[in-house]
Amino acid sequence: MTTLQQQLKTWALRLYYRTSSRKAWAAHPRSDDFSISNLLIPTRTGEVTARMYHGQADCPIIIYFHGGGWVIGDLNTHDPFCRALSKASGCSLLSIGYRLAPEHPFPAAHDDCLDATKWIIDNLNALAPNSGKAVLAGDSAGGNLAACTMASLIGEPRISGTIMIYPVIEHYLAGLRSYTEHAKSGPLTSSIMRWFFDTYLGAIAAADPKTKTIFVSRRCDYSNFPPSLLVTAERDPLRDDGKRLATVMRQAGVAITYQHFPNEAHGFACSQGATAGHQQFVELATHWLGELSAH
């Protein structure tokens, strides 16, 4: 693929994602009855934008990384979902606008999310109301960013949990059956997922030692992860990625809550509007966050 073709495909997919997200949520009233503010968070290369949804002081703050294959997605595509999760759970939420490929290839997104998380947990008292604890969360590629950030901060007492929504964990060459079985079953196809990986990694081969940053299992056995909520969807090339992670984390002794949604496709929780599946996820996450706060 030429540079021009790459640019055009990136532009088209970003436009499609923004448009489809806007249409999916257009029929549902937006949660506007709480305070929202925007801020800039310092990183090693400059600043990243973030959107802060203000919740309650007795709840952990959710640090959220949006999905989109490290290439598409932004604060606006996930704004309705972040509003819904913050309102239902009572948690303040910080959505991170990390840099995207191909303009900013690997490890830009991972560096931004790690740096932003470090800054947030060091400044909890100055941010939206929170209990002094943080939960790392994300969907799809954002689920990968949450897992990778947690792996880099093992032992950090102010991080009390992780939420991973149909996360990317392994490379597409890992031999996961769902990449074939559900290659075209939902909005995320196997070919698009491969393109996301190739676009983000650029000239770096999947086997390169540098990629242990993105492939958590190469540098972490998960045994010291905090309590975690993991969700997968049936009609999703990433289905077996999440299922395998659930097994590994359970064997490592992690206090994991795992829920598989057998009638849903990739994106159901965050990107398809206030569907029944989305509502079920929000109820699950709200209950899990409540129990996490209680303990």
Distance of alpha carbon 129 from alpha carbon 293, whole angstroms: 14
Please, is 177 exposed, middle or buried when counting C-beta atoms within 10 Å of its C-beta (0-12, 13-18, 19+)? Answer: exposed
Distance of alpha carbon 45 from alpha carbon 108, whole angstroms: 9
Three-class secondary structure of residue 159 per DSSP = strand
- Determine the distance from the C-alpha atom of residue 85 to the mean position of all C-alpha atoms in its chain, rounded to a whole number: 13
**Rg of the chain's alpha carbons, rounded to an integer?**
18
| Segment holding 265, helix H or strand E | strand 256-265
Sign of CA dihedral 105, 109, 114, 118: positive
Active site residues: 140, 236, 266
Locate 116 and state its tokens: 């932003």
